[in-house]
Amino acid sequence: MTAPSSFCHVVYKTHRYNEMIEWYQRVFEARIQHRDDRLCFLAYDDEHHRMAFLNLGPGEAKNASAPRNAPGVHHVAYAWKNLGELIDTYKRLKSYGVLPTRPIRHGLTLSLYYDDPDGNSMEFQIDTMTPEQANSFIAGPAFEKNPVGEAFDPDELVRRYEAGQTVDDLVFRSDQPEHRERRITRDHPELVG
């Protein structure tokens, strides 16, 4: 089988049609490509649409505090080019009152998880390793012992990043000493851009 060349879009069924559209417009700075009473298509780049919403009409909305172990999609992930872009996104969303539910340094990524109005989880991330390093890490003993990662404080990351201080201990996990010696700062050429 030939693998797909790209991931194109995701479609959400919702009872919170207007609220979901507004949230995704704001969070992704997306534009409406088409909207009627039943369907809405949004794009944030040159693709015709990246997410769509199917209006289920009035009804019981998903409980945003539903158990995470319920069946369904766990999260959809989006990557930013570098730490500066991820921090800018965090600050912009925080100014709207949109805060991450789980900031996690996975080792191969630094990730901020957000929940939309229906409780769907979005992972906003940067890669912290080359693909070769990430493949090696995910196959190694540290990842086997802890495949989830460690929490971090995004406000501390922003404070230190903007002050030009090192942030490698906030970007990498405690079991990644070989990477934590890279002395990542705002002016560091890797990750930061």
Asked if the model's pLDDT at residue 188 lies above 70, the reply is no
What's the whole-model pTM score?
A: 0.85
What CA–CA distances, in Å, run from 105 to 71, 142, 158? 25, 13, 14
pLDDT single digits (tens) 134-179: 899 889 999 999 999 999 999 999 999 999 888 888 888 888 877 6
Give just the sign of the alpha carbon dihedral 127, 128, 132, 137. negative
26-35, 52-61, 123-132, 162-171 — most confident range: 26-35
Return the CATH class of domain 74-193.
alpha beta
- Looking at residue 61, the DSSP 8-state letter turns out to be P
Cβ proximity of 53 and 20 under 8 Å:
yes
Token pair 């942030």 is found at 167
Beta pairing partners, 53: 12, 40
- Helix, coil or strand: residue 143: helix
pLDDT number for residue 67: 64
Asked if the model's pLDDT at residue 50 lies above 50, the reply is yes
Instruction: List helix spans (H) across the chain.
Output: 17-28, 83-95, 131-138, 141-145, 154-162, 168-171, 177-180
**Considering the chain, what is the average pLDDT of its residues?**
87
Q: What does DSSP say about strands 121-127 and 109-115: parallel, antiparallel, or unpaired?
A: antiparallel
Of the candidates 88, 191, 193, 89, the one whose C-alpha atom is nearest the C-alpha of residue 134 is 191
The domain limits of the chain are 9-57, 74-193
Q: What architecture is domain 9-57?
A: 2-Layer Sandwich (3.30)
Q: How far apart are CA 114 and CA 124, in angstroms?
A: 8
58-67, 87-96, 160-169, range with the lowest pLDDT: 58-67
Backbone angles phi, psi at 89, to 5 degrees: -65, -45
- Helix, coil or strand: residue 17: helix
Token pair 């794009």 is found at 43
Cβ proximity of 185 and 192 under 8 Å:
yes
